[in-house]
Structure 1
Amino acid sequence: MAWKTLDDMDLAGKTVLTRVDINVPMENGVVTDDTRIRRIVPTVADIRAKGGKPVLLAHFGRPKGQFVPEMSLAPLVPALEAAFGAPVTFVERPSREALDALPADAIVLVENTRFTPMEEANDPQMAQFLASLGDVYCNDAFSAAHRAHASTEGVAHHLPSCAGRLMEAELKALEAALSNPVRPVVAVVGGAKVSTKLDLLGNLVAKVDHLVIGGGMANTFLAAQGIDVGKSLAEHEMADTAREILAKAEAAGCEIILPVDVVVAREFAANAANETVPADACPADAMILDAGPETVARITATLEAAKTLIWNGPLGAFEIEPFDAATNAAAARAAALSKAGKLVSVAGGGDTVAALNKAGAAEDFTYISTAGGAFLEWMEGKVLPGVAALEN
């Protein structure tokens, strides 16, 4: 690997600037889901175990370069202290002198990096100021690695730099799934719109052996092949693009798996009256809301023969029953194969995590990424500035 980890760094007596993502949901000043906080615990613990002083840099919300009291990181201190099992010192305006005056094993949280426009502008002055606060830079925020900001990219050029434990795990999982995978490789890509995942589909057909397309995206591909999809969600204006992707996949030897049967209903509502019909027999007044059992059988058979799986997006309208059936069944099979050691499965993206959690499959996947945009950009084959900076 081209980047260093905490194992490669001498941290004894060093102040370690540590970029984390603790952009967690809150209600009435209380953290309602501390997943992202729990995921940075190993990095903070390891820095302290090696004699370093972790100084946490993080953003919260989108204050657009202004001081917004509701987006202060101060209310996160109790949740951080509970996770770390140690006190956390909150610093509004950091200085090297103030940081040096704190105990050697202190954990420090610096106020929202986005309270100045210099952060998102990746201003060299801010990068140099941040660098002046520490001796080593550790990036543990893969989910912000697709942004070239002062605290995610700029500062890395001024200090010895490494990946934190979460960043390390994320990069290793993604490299195993896409850069150097054990074949055959299957990708499951679902969601509403082809237009938002063009780069992703274009990159994947050249890299995977089988590409399962689900959700509203599948309707667009069916329509592009001249199939009437009734009132289904579909981007008919993307027909040419869909046909180009199909042709590119054929040229690359990538099998595209589209629904062969579908579950249709007349209304988008939980437990709406529905029926299963062949994919080319959607009634004109109905909409496709899920893949049918034949399609699920085909997907699971493909998973059985695969060695690596990348998953992004649901196969149907997973938010409402019974249109979550295809997603649940395919996810359960992928989870079982992963648990048995027969499949390396990596999943990510907002809806994906929610769908796999709903299916009760998430904990048995090999790796679940909490990074939305960064995970997608990596899958699209794009260079992530925050990762590239660690390689310099």
Structure 2
Amino acid sequence: MAKKTVRDLNVENKTVLVRVDFNVPMDGDKITDDNRIVAALDTIKYLIDHQAKVVLFSHLGKIKSAEDLDKADRNLKPVADRLSELLGQMVIFVEETRGEKLESAVKDLQKGQVLLVQNTRFEDVKGKKESGNDPELGRYWASLGDLFVNDAFGTAHRAHASNVGIASHLESAVGFLMEKEVKFLGEAVDQPQRPFVAILGGAKVSDKIKVIENLLDRADKILIGGGMAYTFFKAKGFEIGQSICEPDRVELAKEIMTKAGGKLVLPIDNVVAKKFANDAETKVVTSEDIPADYMGMDIGPETVELFKETLAGAKTVVWNGPMGVFEMENFSKGTIGVCEAIAQLEDATTIVGGGDSAAAVSQLGYEDKFTHISTGGGASLTYLEGAVLPGVDSINDK
């Protein structure tokens, strides 16, 4: 890639600041999924093996008020403990995001040691210092080290003090995870092996407009599922009952369909329900025939078969977003069916873009059947839009 990677840095005996994405799901002070910690290990171990002094920065959740500072699921201490177990060595944890205690701990680091700084968004309680990319905060954090490595793809679509802010003051590079994310997404979108099929789900057309518009010029087929399909149905003049819809996007949906020609593939049947609940009364109806008192909750079995047929022979597949209300078991079959169809493709590059679609892959045990599972839902979406990722753009070129 055009950006420096961690391999391009002379890290021996240097204090290397690393932005990682340890924004893991928590239940109180218990980590419920450590995938994001595991994903950062390659870069951290490389720095340890090359005798760097490693200082890690990450956020965890959002900080909206001072009360959030005391919440167990905002404190990175459990992450430090889990990282210690995974590395097989103690990870020093500093409860502060700035000040003498942090400065002293960083100064005392020895080669091969690792230190984790408290949740960077604790600074936001003082007025969006972190998420607003406060210049003074970025300069301060940069003063703690000699080099900077950004390995947090999950926040690459944001300009924060802990990524763009630090990078503007130090020689910088991307870590192995970031390099992998950009490589797979970049090649899939810009240099795809064909046929290239994109699958987009989720609730709103407005969330995916730019992605659809960007991919119309690149993909051979775009399969649409999830709640946003009903806005397209409305644009076609179908009855959609109580289904989710964005009335202000109906005209745009018409324009997209006109521009897409035969590239856009919409559901032909749907699982509909009387209410938004797993135990609701349900039935399967065609897309033109949703009863007035029902709402669409998932793609139907005929649509799953249609999508499978469309995917047959694909050489590049990018999937972002569920096909229905995946968190409810009775409306997860569409998402599961699409996941299984992608997993069974042979000789294809298959990429999942975070969120519920990545969760489906994990729950079904298909991780090893996909070429790449992105750690950053929002960042992968921004990349698919063709937009610049500030967290990558701010890194030094080779």
Q: Could you state the TM-score of these two structures normalised by the residue count of structure 1?
A: 0.91
Q: Match for residue 226 of structure 1?
A: 237
Which range moved further: 55-64 or 213-222?
55-64
Which range moved further: 220-229 or 60-69?
60-69
1:58-96 superposed Cα distances (whole Å, 9 cap, x missing partner) = 222222596923334334321121121111112333666
* 3-state SS in 2 of match to 1:345: strand
Q: Distance in 2 between matches of 1:11 and 1:118?
A: 29
Q: Distance in 2 between matches of 1:121 and 1:237?
A: 30
**Quick check: 1:102 aligned with 2:105?**
no
Q: Which structure 2 residues correspond to residues 39-58 of structure 1 after superposition, within 5 A?
A: 39-58=39-58
Which range moved further: 321-330 or 1-10?
321-330
Q: Match for residue 159 of structure 2?
A: 148
Q: Match for residue 199 of structure 1?
A: 210
Measured after TM superposition, the shift of residue 238 of structure 1 is: 2.1
**Quick check: 1:82 aligned with 2:85?**
yes
Alpha-carbon contact 2:351-2:371 (below 8 Å) kept: yes
Q: Distance in 2 between matches of 1:65 and 1:325?
A: 39
Q: Distance in 1 between matches of 2:257 and 2:368?
A: 33
Alpha-carbon contact 2:354-2:373 (below 8 Å) kept: no
Alpha-carbon contact 1:62-1:114 (below 8 Å) kept: yes
Alpha-carbon contact 1:121-1:149 (below 8 Å) kept: yes
* 3-state SS in 2 of match to 1:186: strand
Q: Distance in 1 between matches of 2:321 and 2:28?
A: 31
| One-letter amino acid matched to 1:291 | I
Measured after TM superposition, the shift of residue 104 of structure 1 is: 1.3
Q: Match for residue 286 of structure 2?
A: 278
Partner residue of 1:386 out of 386, 391, 396: 391
1:117-165 superposed Cα distances (whole Å, 9 cap, x missing partner) = 4323323332222222212110011111111112110221222211111
Alpha-carbon contact 2:273-2:296 (below 8 Å) kept: yes
Partner residue of 1:334 out of 338, 342, 353: 342
Which range moved further: 216-225 or 229-238?
229-238
* 3-state SS in 2 of match to 1:183: coil
**Segments ≥4 residues shifted beyond 4 Å:** 64-67, 94-98
Where structure 2 has 5 or more consecutive residues not aligned to the other structure, the ranges are: none
Q: Could you state the TM-score of these two structures normalised by the residue count of structure 2?
A: 0.90
| One-letter amino acid matched to 2:16 | V
Q: Which structure 2 residues correspond to residues 352-391 of structure 1 after superposition, within 5 A?
A: 352-391=357-396
Q: Distance in 2 between matches of 1:300 and 1:41?
A: 36
Taking only the aligned residue pairs, the percentage that are identical comes to 44
Measured after TM superposition, the shift of residue 328 of structure 1 is: 1.3
* 3-state SS in 2 of match to 1:105: coil
Q: Distance in 2 between matches of 1:73 and 1:63?
A: 13
Report the number of matched residues: 386
Q: Distance in 1 between matches of 2:218 and 2:305?
A: 24
Q: Distance in 1 between matches of 2:182 and 2:390?
A: 13
Alpha-carbon contact 2:199-2:223 (below 8 Å) kept: yes
Which range moved further: 86-95 or 35-44?
86-95
Q: Distance in 2 between matches of 1:350 and 1:389?
A: 25
Which range moved further: 6-15 or 118-127?
118-127
**Quick check: 1:158 aligned with 2:203?**
no
* 3-state SS in 2 of match to 1:240: helix
Measured after TM superposition, the shift of residue 319 of structure 1 is: 2.7
Which range moved further: 32-41 or 93-102?
93-102
**Quick check: 1:187 aligned with 2:218?**
no
Structure 1 residues 65 and 264: CA distance shift in structure 2, 3 A: closer
1:168-189 superposed Cα distances (whole Å, 9 cap, x missing partner) = 1111111122122112211111
**Quick check: 1:343 aligned with 2:354?**
no
Measured after TM superposition, the shift of residue 323 of structure 1 is: 2.7
Q: Distance in 2 between matches of 1:143 and 1:169?
A: 13
Measured after TM superposition, the shift of residue 43 of structure 1 is: 0.9
1:317-341 superposed Cα distances (whole Å, 9 cap, x missing partner) = 323344322221221010121xx3x
Structure 1 residues 43 and 245: CA distance shift in structure 2, 3 A: same
Which range moved further: 291-300 or 81-90?
291-300
* 3-state SS in 1 of match to 2:227: helix
Structure 1 residues 321 and 29: CA distance shift in structure 2, 3 A: closer
| One-letter amino acid matched to 1:166 | L
Q: Distance in 2 between matches of 1:120 and 1:65?
A: 14
Where structure 1 has 5 or more consecutive residues not aligned to the other structure, the ranges are: none
* 3-state SS in 1 of match to 2:285: strand
Q: Distance in 1 between matches of 2:193 and 2:248?
A: 36
Alpha-carbon contact 2:15-2:55 (below 8 Å) kept: yes
Partner residue of 1:133 out of 141, 144, 164: 144
| One-letter amino acid matched to 2:390 | P
Structure 1 residues 201 and 140: CA distance shift in structure 2, 3 A: same
Measured after TM superposition, the shift of residue 314 of structure 1 is: 1.4
Alpha-carbon contact 1:48-1:105 (below 8 Å) kept: yes
Q: Match for residue 7 of structure 1?
A: 7
